[in-house]
Amino acid sequence: MRAVKFARYLPQFGWEPVILTVQKGEFPYNDPSLEKDLSVKTRVYRTKSWEPFFLYKKMTHKKKDDRLPVGLLTLKKHNIREKITAWIRANIFVPDARIGWIPFAVNEGLKIIKKEKIDLVLTSSPPHSLQLIGLILKKISRLPWIADLRDPWTHIRYYQFIKRNVCISKIDQLIEKKVLREADHVTTVSPSLVSAFKSKENMFNNNKISLLPHGYDENDFRQVKRNQPIKFQITHTGNLLEHQNPKILWQSLKQILQQIPDFKDNLLIRFIGRTHPSILESIHYYGLTAFFQSQSFLPHNLIIQEIVDSSLLLVVIPEIEDNKGIITTKLLEYLGSRNPILIIGPQDGDVAKIISNISNSRICEYQNIDRCMEFIQKMYTAWKKKKLPILKQQKNPDYSRYEIAKTLSHIHIAQ
């Protein structure tokens, strides 16, 4: 979505995007509706790619047409086959299992550079193997290159859950440092990630890395009519993995159900995306199954409608080490809706700084049940009075997709 929004708005700042992507890739989701954001004039090139996921499906007895699981490396391994496939992914495919696209993308990329008279190459990852494509294209074409890193690389959270060979880890770190050193400019999505990538390479020029956050598109929301929710609807969009189980929310809701008689008649918990089985077990354990609805996937335009029609939006920052720099894309889209937001996560993280001046939203630490309960009850009371605190205007214009594309277009590349 980030790349699509770049392509949508960059022409307004003098840049004509030409897109190179895969023809048939393996993904947890596929949303063709996002193509509507692209101008009919935008040229899109697609190439073949060799991806090893057929081996994963074969070894784990999954069907050929099954979608890849979300957060593959963070999932618990239930048998020897799953453990072996996870080890192979982490130790054989470096930096990731998309390296099979590199020869196809480089070959086609060089043709596009010549045919389209390209002025600059931008690679956005993960998968971080795309940065190797950018590195090779820069070396051959001598064009300036921007490496856009939406997630950590060697310090990404899923390596906390799987053992990696020391030598392989060192090789990956060297590749990461090579990309950081050779890129003409690096962009990333949070202040903590800016600091983390700067610390990777002592020779790294401080002026060479920019904060280019995730955002929301005002136009997505202008096309949506706001409806008064029939129920007090708590909504989460996107995937919830094992380390995103908001137990504090389940505990709060259980207590509120006991304290406020009419809450049981009005509560609706709606999740759109894949939810880890352990979270579903928690919902059942706390007696909330009757209030819970889930849907595995919706196109982005329909998700926007769900967000706008919600009473309270939920964000859960994974409860893991080094989580203070995690800023989910959904949080910024929630901001675009102007609806109340409940964030469960570290009180001193980057997310807390983003919402510090947002009057209708709150962040609660993982164990602070009193703070969580008080906020939910406050929002429920406002909902019953039909006075939910919807912001009159967005307080964070810096997170507009339009403004972010503008910032990207003005990045100075030293020659």
Predicted confidence (pLDDT) at residue 256 exceeds the cutoff of 90: yes
Least confident range of 110-114, 126-130, 354-358? 354-358
Model confidence pLDDT, tens digit, residues 12-48: 999 999 999 999 876 767 888 888 899 999 999 999 9
Most confident by average pLDDT, 47-56, 71-80, 87-96, 307-316: 307-316
**Domains assigned to the chain:** 2-215+401-409 (3.40.50.2000), 219-397 (3.40.50.2000)
**Cα 25–chain centre separation:** 18
Q: How confident is the model at residue 331 (pLDDT cuts 50, 70, 90)?
A: very high
pLDDT of the residue at 94: 84
Predicted confidence (pLDDT) at residue 86 exceeds the cutoff of 80: no
Amino acid at 325: G
Kindly tell me the burial class for residue 110, based on how many C-beta atoms sit within 10 Å of its own C-beta (0-12, 13-18, 19 or more). Answer: middle
- Among 127, 1, 158, smallest CA distance to 52 is for 127
pLDDT of the residue at 267: 98
Share of the chain above pLDDT 70, in %: 88
Share of the chain above pLDDT 90, in %: 65
pLDDT of the residue at 63: 62
pLDDT of the residue at 307: 96
d(CA 391, CA 341): 11
The residue ranking higher by pLDDT, 309 or 392, is 309
Q: Are strands 232-237 and 121-125 parallel, antiparallel or unpaired?
A: unpaired
Tally Cβ neighbours within 10 Å of residue 290.
9
Predicted confidence (pLDDT) at residue 394 exceeds the cutoff of 70: no
- Among 412, 338, 327, smallest CA distance to 146 is for 412
Q: What are phi and psi of 319, to 5 degrees?
A: -85, 80
d(CA 69, CA 76): 12
pLDDT of the residue at 206: 67
- How much is the average pLDDT of 242-268? 96
Q: How confident is the model at residue 189 (pLDDT cuts 50, 70, 90)?
A: very high
- How much is the average pLDDT of 177-194? 94
- Structure tokens, 103: 């020869």
Task: Work out the angle between the directed axes of helices 369-384 and 247-259 (0-180°, nearest 10).
Answer: 50
pLDDT of the residue at 19: 97
Amino acid at 164: R
Cis geometry, peptide bond prior to residue 126 (ω within 30 degrees of 0): yes
Helices (H), 201-246: 218-222
pLDDT of the residue at 58: 55
pLDDT of the residue at 373: 98
Model confidence pLDDT, tens digit, residues 123-166: 999 999 999 999 999 999 999 999 999 999 988 776 766 777 88
The residue ranking higher by pLDDT, 226 or 223, is 226
- How much is the average pLDDT of 49-71? 59
pLDDT of the residue at 27: 72
pLDDT of the residue at 60: 53
Inter-residue contact 315 to 240 (CB < 8 Å): no
Mean pLDDT of the chain: 88
Q: What are phi and psi of 203, to 5 degrees?
A: -85, 5
Predicted confidence (pLDDT) at residue 400 exceeds the cutoff of 60: yes
- Structure tokens, 305: 């409608």
Q: How confident is the model at residue 347 (pLDDT cuts 50, 70, 90)?
A: very high
Task: Work out the angle between the directed axes of helices 191-200 and 166-182 (0-180°, nearest 10).
Answer: 100
d(CA 209, CA 190): 11
